[in-house]
Structure 1
Amino acid sequence: MSFQPLPKVPRTRRAVAPLLAAPRYEILPLPRALEATEQLPAGSVVTVTASPHKGLHATIDLVEDVAAQGMRAVPHLAARQFRDSAELAGVLDRLDAAGIDEVFVVGGDNHDPAGDFADGLALLRGMADLGRLPTDVGVPSYPEGHHTIDDATLWTSLRAKQEYATYTVTQLCFDADAICRFAAEARRRGITLPVVVGAPGVVDVTKLLRVGLKIGVGDSLRFARGNASVTGKLLRPGGYRPDGLVRKLASRVAYGDCTLAGLHFYTFNHVAATARWVRNTHRRAA
């Protein structure tokens, strides 16, 4: 998949349309996930998270099924879940057989590595050593920092990863200004990876809590560690809708203040509601 900077347009309303032209939908490896993704248009990008609670192969099993639905399926490969290069090669073989040529590489939430790969950079180098880097490789980035990693280390890591990656997706963020400051700072530091914004989808409080109980609260709300305001926004009465965030991002893009490559929605498996919002909002903006 090739990411291009979104076009600059003179009005905020029109700038919403390119942001929503080809969104990515992140899902969790839970029962009935396929019932959610089958409601998406064929060819939609669907990413499947890595869960320490469910294990590596829950992600790979689901991503194979999503690909069979006709979606562009993207597994999250968590470095600390792999034992060694042999297991990595086996997983890459399965992805090749399923026609999957894109991955998203993370360190993972496991406290201790299962084997040879301590972090995402190590796994990227492991794939490169095997001569098996997929066509497209995404890596995470952190507009508001990380609760256990200092900023200098984050920037050093991202700069090193761009040798292997083709784009970066930001961790969940509600602040358009922080996202655009991050994108500008990345360019200043010589990081040229296209920036895809990680945004919350349409979230229903009851369903979010139900998902948390199924997969383990630490997995489903992993992004909220050290940031109580994130949890508060998602769990507020009436749920959450991304209208305000998307409008603010579109405004910054429209006036040339921010260069972004699209949106990646954290759906918590509320795919239908998020996809419906995307469809309706895109139609009004077009």
Structure 2
Amino acid sequence: MDRAGIPGAADDHTDPTALAALLAHPRWEVVPTAGVLEAAVGLPAGATVTVTASPGRGVEATVAVAEGLAARGFAAVPHLAARSLHDRAELAGYLERLAGVGVDDVFVVGGDAREPAGEFADGLALLRAIEELGRPARVGVPSYPDGHHRISDDVLWADLRAKQAHADYTVTQLCFDADRLCAFVGEARRRGVDLPVVAGIPGVVDTARLLRIGIRIGVTDAARFARSHRSTAAALLRPGRHRPDELVARLAAHVAAGDCDLERVHVYTFNQIEPTVRWLSQAGRAAA
């Protein structure tokens, strides 16, 4: 995706009102690894928490963590990966389990598996099946400000336009570039995509911890992640700890200038929950 569409650079000075609004009701994303439910107690009570899916761990791990989060009072949002599901019977079983614990929001992705495990070749096929089975109250889909390493931009846009008939919002893949992200939102509106856009941003990411998580979720999954996030891999692999202060300040400046129609932020924690919650709390208080 190119950066066309920004009508001039946003002011670099942080707008406190816009920043406070942007950070007011974040979504938090976690990886379904051992210990994540215990770590989740550090999240704000009742927070919206999404749970990723990967070919290495399977849909079962994602749904089990979502059930655990719901039992702890969080608004859990599991990722359902099309290419990791076998058939409608399996899908119906997961949807029934999730409804049984009060989960009414799912996030539908194609998934990173090279080949489909069954009848769902892509996210759109899964969305249509969910509609036919009885969709939850809310359904989200991904979008790609940085593009995708295996899919052309034209195909991505056509896919997003088709998916919006079955979805309630889109969350962007992780992006470190506020100008690029806001240009993507403007381009989406010009192309007839009117879904609310949630900006996917990094939390406070420690390189060593990230690499350990990469090993735990599988080297193949980690490699696919790096290939799928063109502008982010280098930033994530710099020594030390990344903080998104500059990114959110610039996003807020774009929002205040009226050239970035964002609903809120979606924070990729990589399970580094404590430092990320502390950072966002401090950022929110500073903006208030």
Normalising by structure 2, report the TM-score: 0.93
Would you say the 8 A contact 1:19–1:262 is kept in 2?
Answer: yes
Tell me, what secondary structure is at the counterpart of 1:172? coil
Would you say the 8 A contact 1:81–1:113 is kept in 2?
Answer: yes
Tell me, what secondary structure is at the counterpart of 1:197? strand
Cα distance, 1:157 vs structure 2:
0.5
Partner in structure 1 of residue 127 of structure 2: 124
Cα distance, 1:222 vs structure 2:
3.6
Matched, 1:74 2:81: no
CA separation of 1:215 and 1:158: change in aligned 2, threshold 3 A: same
Matched, 1:52 2:55: yes
Q: What percentage of aligned pairs have identical amino acids? A: 58
Which of 79, 86, 95 aligns to 2:98? It is: 95
Which of 112, 133, 136 aligns to 1:134? It is: 136
Would you say the 8 A contact 1:253–1:259 is kept in 2?
Answer: yes
Matched, 1:165 2:167: yes
Which of 271, 274, 277 aligns to 2:273? It is: 271
CA separation of 1:108 and 1:226: change in aligned 2, threshold 3 A: closer
Partner in structure 2 of residue 19 of structure 1: 22
Aligned length: 276
Query: Counterparts in 2 of 1:240-279, with a 5 A limit?
Result: 240-279=242-281
Would you say the 8 A contact 1:11–1:254 is kept in 2?
Answer: no
Mark the runs of 5 or more structure 1 residues left unpaired by the alignment.
1-9
Partner in structure 2 of residue 202 of structure 1: 204
Tell me, what secondary structure is at the counterpart of 2:241? coil
Would you say the 8 A contact 2:146–2:231 is kept in 1?
Answer: no
The residue type equivalent to 1:28 in the other structure is V
Distance across 2 between alignment mates of 1:227 and 1:95: 30
Partner in structure 2 of residue 39 of structure 1: 42
Q: Which runs of 4+ in 1 moved over 4 A?
A: 226-229
Mark the runs of 5 or more structure 2 residues left unpaired by the alignment.
1-12
Cα distance, 1:13 vs structure 2:
2.5
Distance across 2 between alignment mates of 1:28 and 1:279: 21
Would you say the 8 A contact 1:142–1:171 is kept in 2?
Answer: yes
Distance across 1 between alignment mates of 2:235 and 2:208: 14
CA separation of 1:118 and 1:206: change in aligned 2, threshold 3 A: same
Tell me, what secondary structure is at the counterpart of 1:276? helix
Distance across 2 between alignment mates of 1:226 and 1:172: 10
**Deviation string, structure 1 residues 137-163 (Cα, Å, up to 9, x no partner):** 110001121110001110110001000
Matched, 1:280 2:278: no
RMSD: 1.4
Would you say the 8 A contact 1:77–1:103 is kept in 2?
Answer: yes
Matched, 1:186 2:188: yes
**Deviation string, structure 1 residues 174-215 (Cα, Å, up to 9, x no partner):** 111111111111111111100000111100111111111111
Would you say the 8 A contact 1:46–1:74 is kept in 2?
Answer: yes
The residue type equivalent to 1:27 in the other structure is V
